[in-house]
Amino acid sequence: MNYKTQMEAAKKGMLTKEMKVVADKENISEEKLMKLIAEGRIVIPANINHKSLSPEGIGDGLRTKINVNLGISGDSVDYCREMEKVKMAIEFGAEAIMDLSNYGKTQEFREKLIEYSPAMIGTVPMYDAIGYLEKDLMDIKAKDFLDVVLAHAKAGVDFVTIHAGINKRTVSLFKEDKRRLNIVSRGGSLLFAWMEMTGNENPFYEYYDELLEILREYDVTISLGDAMRPGCLDDSTDAGQITELIELGLLTKRAWEKDVQVMIEGPGHMAMNEIAANMQIEKRLCHGAPFYVLGPLVTDIAPGYDHITSAIGGAIAATHGANFLCYVTPAEHLRLPDLSDVREGIIASKIAAHAADIANGIPGSRDRDNDMADARQKLDWEGMFKIAIDGKKAREYFESIPPEDQHSCSMCGKMCAVRTTNKILNGEVVQLKVES
């Protein structure tokens, strides 16, 4: 193999087996895909040690992908339940899973996850640092953080979130330009605390070149984290967010020089009227790198329903340039999500991604919708259940109040518009009166 990363191969005009798979999945020519990977506008996160991976592309002109967050926390240590979430995510077609474990046997869980999962695996090494290094935050040395990244890379993680843009310049502006909700990024807040307590520069920024060498060795895509993402509507598109985005754009170019694939992470909480502009700003400042967004959540007042506020924002974001949606569950801001929450979050995010693909004219994106329309026109309920994103739930609703006439549902019964029209067009008489 005469290349280290997918980007290096693309720059050299070499077609990898991962590129062939993605080109086939996306109905895109291999030549065009290779060109966009070489330019950094598409990434294929594919660690050389993730043997069970079914490669996916993320970027412009491809289907919008979704990510599912899960992992072990100190307040809820249940490895079996988290693996059930993994299986559910794969069943519903999530393209990526982020293991955010920060407690217990994180390495063992991660290794099992990578061995099992055909979906891309992402992590935030900063979350794992205290447990992996067995040190408190204050006692961790700058280069210790790189050891954690190396461990994740060796294990087979396909992409890592690294908050390298929260450097001393960003922090200085953050302090000067006050925020309503300060820093809400977990990894960002830990780095901010470490920097303030030690007086040192962000180690991921200071030793960025050494970090890139690790990622290049295993072809790990760097997902440049948004430590300054807005955590409420009032903080969106502020100086801290935009300043960090400028830094991420500079770091993107440095990564590309090393042939390391890059994604950029984005907001957060944001009013609907700001989303399109934010997508355009990211693409401009970060040179077209794929954009990975959390939400955005379009209102702050819906705890328990934030899978909906996120799906609204995600659909708008993906229509205007975002390429990768991180799911949000109904439990966001409230607790660790259970299996039901994960299911609701995945479905909401899949709906947002699919709706955006239709709006963006992605080839083949309307096919299932057309199939659903055909099944409805025939009143083919079994066909509808097979086509539906969540056919199990659709069936449960249909069967919960059985219709008298199996060719309609209990909402309209014999007054079903499709049934009525079909009968007339077939030359049949429509009879609505109930015989006594």
Supply the DSSP string of 10-73, one letter for each residue.
Answer: HHTTPPPHHHHHHHHHHT--HHHHHHHHHHTSEE----TT-TT-----EETTSPPEEEEEE--B
How far is the C-alpha of 410 from the C-alpha of 397, rounded, in Å?
10
Is 186 annotated as ligand-binding? yes
| CA angle (19, 24, 26) in 5-degree steps | 95
Q: Is residue 416 a known part of a binding site?
A: yes
Burial class of residue 79 (count of CB atoms within 10 Å of its CB; 0-12, 13-18, 19+): middle
Cα–Cα separations (whole angstroms), residue 263 to 93, 94, 237, 370: 21, 18, 19, 33
84 burial via Cβ count (<10 Å: 0-12, 13-18, 19+): middle
Q: Is 227 annotated as a binding residue?
A: yes
Q: Is 110 annotated among the ligand-binding residues?
A: no
User: Shortest CA distance to 261 belongs to which of 23, 47, 25?
Assistant: 47
For tokens 């109930």, name the residue: 434
Was 229 annotated as part of a binding site?
A: yes
**Measured distance CA(94)–CA(318) in Å, rounded:** 16
Task: Give φ, ψ of 114 to 5 degrees.
Answer: -65, -40
269 is in an annotated binding site: yes
Region for residue 399 given its phi and psi (left: phi exceeds 0; alpha: psi -120 to 50; beta: otherwise): alpha
163 annotated among ligand-binding-site residues: yes
Burial of 199 (0-12, 13-18, 19+ CB in 10 A): exposed
Rounded distance between C-alpha atoms, residue 415 and residue 21, angstroms = 48
Residue 372 marked in a binding site:
no
Query: Is 270 known as a binding-site position?
Result: no
415 annotated as a binding-site residue: no
Per-residue tokens: 39: 């330019």
Q: Is 305 annotated as belonging to a binding site?
A: no
80 is known to lie in a ligand binding site: no
**Torsion from C-alpha of 124, 292, 50, 32, nearest 10 degrees:** -150
How far is CA 324 from each of CA 146, 157, 266, 354, rounded to the nearest angstrom?
A: 26, 17, 10, 12
* Cα distance between residue 155 and residue 302, in whole Å: 38
| Annotated binding-site members for [4Fe-4S] cluster | 409, 412, 416
| Annotated binding-site members for Zn(2+) | 269, 333
| Annotated binding-site members | 69, 98, 127, 163, 185-187, 226-229, 265, 269, 292, 333, 409, 412, 416
| Annotated binding-site members for substrate | 69, 98, 127, 163, 185-187, 226-229, 265, 292
